[in-house]
Amino acid sequence: MLKVVKGAKVLDIDEADKDYYLSLGFDVVELDKANKKYKIVEQATENKSVDISKYNKLADKISNLEKELKEHEQKDIEYQKTHDELQGKHDEMEKEHEKLKSEHERLLAEYRKIAK
């Protein structure tokens, strides 16, 4: 036997009828460990109504999060450009460093020849 709840209605049903009651908007529940409160085990997705103020609040939150996401995506693009520019400068500096290192080694070898 399963327990289903919709609003203030609590029914005991057979497992075979679960999908039918879910389609009517009943949630499958079980009692918590203290046997005081129902805990939703499987939530119905059909035949449910939502308070319009809750819906509007969530719609606003989604809209704000979408705007925030776009801002973060734009910043990510800017950061990627900056990263690419800095990576290019870093690569140039490494090449220059290698040139200077080679020149230093050549001059050091030349100095050692003269110093002998």
Q: pLDDT by residue (tens digit) across 2-32?
A: 999 998 999 999 999 999 999 999 999 998 8
pLDDT of residue 35: 81
Residues 22 and 73 in one domain: no
Query: What mean pLDDT is predicted for residues 85-108?
Result: 97
pLDDT digits (tens, 9 = 90+) for 34-73: 888 899 999 998 777 788 999 999 999 999 999 999 999 9
Q: Are residues 70 and 108 in the same domain?
A: yes
The whole-model pTM stands at 0.48
| Exposure b/e, 78-97, CB count within 10 A at least 16 = b | eeeeeeeeeeeeeeeeeeee
User: Mean per-residue pLDDT for 73-78?
Assistant: 97
On whether both 22 and 71 belong to a single domain, the answer is no
59 with 17, same domain: the answer is no
Check residue 49 and give its pLDDT: 76
Same domain, 20 and 66: no
Whole domain around residue 80: which residue ranges? 50-116
Q: Could you count the other beta carbons within 10 Å of the beta carbon of residue 48? A: 11
Report the number of distinct structural domains present in the chain: 2
